[in-house]
Amino acid sequence: MLADRMKRISSSPTLKVGLEAARLRRTGADVVDFGAGEPDFSTPPSAKAEAKAAIDADFTKYTANAGIDELKEAIANRYHSAYGVDYSPGQVIVTAGGKQALYNTAMALFGPGDEVVTHSPGWPSIPEQIRLADAAPVIVRTDAEDGFRVKPQAILSALTARTRGIIINSPGNPTGAVISEGDLALIADEAKARGIWVVLDLCYERLIYESVAHNLPMVLWSRMPELSIVTGSMSKAYAMTGWRCGWVIGPKQVIAACGAIQSHATSNVCSITQRAALGALEGPQGCVDEMLEEYRSRRDRVMDWLQSDSRIQLVRPAGAFYLFPDISELLLDCKIPTSVDFAQKLLTEAHVAVTPGEAFDAPGFLRISYATSIERLREGVDRIHKFIRSFGPAPGTA
Ligand SMILES: Cc1ncc(COP(=O)(O)O)c(C=O)c1O
């Protein structure tokens, strides 16, 4: 009854957790939500003011399909000032979030018979979008033992004559791992030699807590501007998930192709959103740093709290706003078969929503978002510990 491609994809598992938590909440339950992939902060005043002004000025009609010139210019300027790369506004298309940016890119570049290499544990929409483009994702695993680092050798050994692209997400969801400039350079040099696209998902680019060199746009722009794409988003850095604004930056031909796809799918991003994004990009940036500092402090505190049970094993994430503990030992002790079962029980019995690792191709792990207030984080971690204790004391502590 449905199209054949529907056999290959399923709906976003990360969104499902939120829906289930919302359902429980409607029944009156006090759910602590660690499932959210979105900031708990307010959208910056500069964005809100521009949006209100846009409505009042009746800036409410179709805009150019690829976005208003001022916004494309502001995005190009931001990448110039942050990274020193020179893209013209004609090399930018404004999309409905980083998700549509990656979707347009996949549809523009990949097709039947193509292989696209990416890494896991990773954001599930990337392989699904590759499948939607009728190409095949080739997944390279990263491991907790070395901080979920994307190793160039692992990526390069996955390349075949059919490889058409490599998609790297840094900082990564759900691991928070960042790829080093040197590692990306090794990948880029080989990809360029073989005529393979490199797509860089920088959705969390403003949320990096360690002093790591992360000028990845420059690595690509200086080496392979004709074969590389950068995608980004207003969602996480400016707490603007609901506004739906992101972008693709790359060669003009690819941007034109993304524009053609978008022109038949969704047309332009909401005119008011585009003004809001402009307001945020051109307004005071202190709010981004304030959010970063708050996330950093939450990350460190929640890590300490969680690790008071030694069966919860954690890598300190360098970026994004997730912890990604390995709970495989805990599952064995509690005799719970999978992390999906654990998450389900935790939600129904302790009213704490977390995302099971299975959503990111990583059974035995959990994703805990710390994009929520410190009070709720404390409450949620207490409930998690209590839930775990209900299966008996940790070995060696009885
Ligand atoms: C790794 C990654 N890339 C891209 C996105 C897209 O976000 P948005 O469409 O809100 O910009 C997300 C959202 O969760 C993400 O985690």
pLDDT at 44: 97
> Structure pTM?
0.95
pLDDT digits (tens, 9 = 90+) for 79-101: 999 999 999 999 999 999 999 99
Predicted confidence at residue 75, as pLDDT, reads: 98
Instruction: Answer whether 175 contacts ligand 1 (Cβ < 6 A).
Output: no
- Do 241 and 291 fall within a single domain? no
Q: Is 142 in the pocket of ligand 1 (CB under 6 A)?
A: no
Q: What is the mean pLDDT of residues 50-66?
A: 98
For the cut 60, the answer to whether the pLDDT of residue 398 exceeds it is no
Band (13; pLDDT cuts 50, 70, 90): low
Report cis status (omega within 30 of 0) of the bond before 174: yes
The answer, yes or no, to whether any atom of ligand 1 lies below 6 A from the CB of 99, is yes
| Torsional sign, CA 199, 228, 99, 297 | positive
The confidence band for 34, taking pLDDT boundaries of 50, 70 and 90, is very high
CA 98 to ligand 1 center in whole angstroms: 5
Q: Which of 233, 273, 324, 361 is the best mutation target for the ligand 1 pocket, counting ligand atoms within 8 Å of the beta carbon and taking the most?
A: 233
Kindly give the distance from the C-alpha atom of residue 203 to the centroid of ligand 1, in angstroms, as a whole number.
6
Q: Is the CB of 367 under 6 A from ligand 1?
A: no
398 within some domain: no
Structural domain count of the chain: 2
CATH of the domain at 134: 3.40.640.10
Q: Is the pLDDT of residue 14 over 70?
A: no
Residue 396 has pLDDT above 70, yes or no: no
Residues 262 and 274 occupy one common structural domain: yes
Question: Mutate which of 38, 105, 118, 125 to test ligand 1's pocket (most atoms within 8 Å of Cβ)?
Answer: 125
Which atom of ligand 1 lies closest to the CA of 233? 11
Q: Is the CB of 233 under 6 A from ligand 1?
A: yes
- Residue 209 and residue 74 share a domain: yes
**In what side-by-side order are the strands of the sheet with 355-356?**
322-323, 366-369, 355-356
Nearest Cα to 114, choosing from 167, 190, 165, 168? 165
Q: Is the domain of 76 the same as that of 117?
A: yes
Summarised one tens digit per residue, pLDDT across range 133-175 is 999 999 999 999 999 999 999 999 999 999 999 999 999 999 9
Whole-number Cα distances in Å, 235 to 41, 43, 194, 231, 239:
11, 9, 34, 12, 5
Residue nearest to atom 3 of ligand 1 (CA): 203
Task: Calculate how far, in angstroms, residue 99's C-alpha sits from the geometric centre of ligand 1.
Answer: 5
User: Is residue 88, in this structure, part of any structural domain at all?
Assistant: yes
Per-residue pLDDT tens for 279-331? 999 999 999 999 999 999 999 999 999 999 988 989 999 999 999 999 999 99
Q: Are residues 272 and 330 in the same domain?
A: no
Q: Is residue 259 part of a domain?
A: yes
Domain boundary among 212, 247, 282: 282
Quote the mean pLDDT of the chain.
Answer: 95
C-alpha 267: how far from its chain's center? 23
**Whose Cα sits closest to atom 16 in ligand 1?**
173
- pLDDT 10s digits, 223-264: 999 999 999 999 999 999 999 999 999 999 999 999 999 999
What SS3 class is residue 192?
helix
Distance separating alpha carbons of residues 357 and 71, to the nearest angstrom: 37
Give the residue, out of 12, 17, 179, 203, with the most ligand 1 atoms within 8 A of its beta carbon, to mutate for a pocket test: 203
Q: Does one domain contain both 278 and 332?
A: no
The domain containing residue 109 runs over which residues?
45-282
Q: What 3-state class would DSSP assign to 60?
A: coil
Q: Report which of 254, 246, 13, 272 is spatially closest to residue 127, judged by C-alpha positions.
A: 13
Is 337 domain-assigned? Answer: yes
Does residue 38 sit in the same domain as residue 54? Answer: no
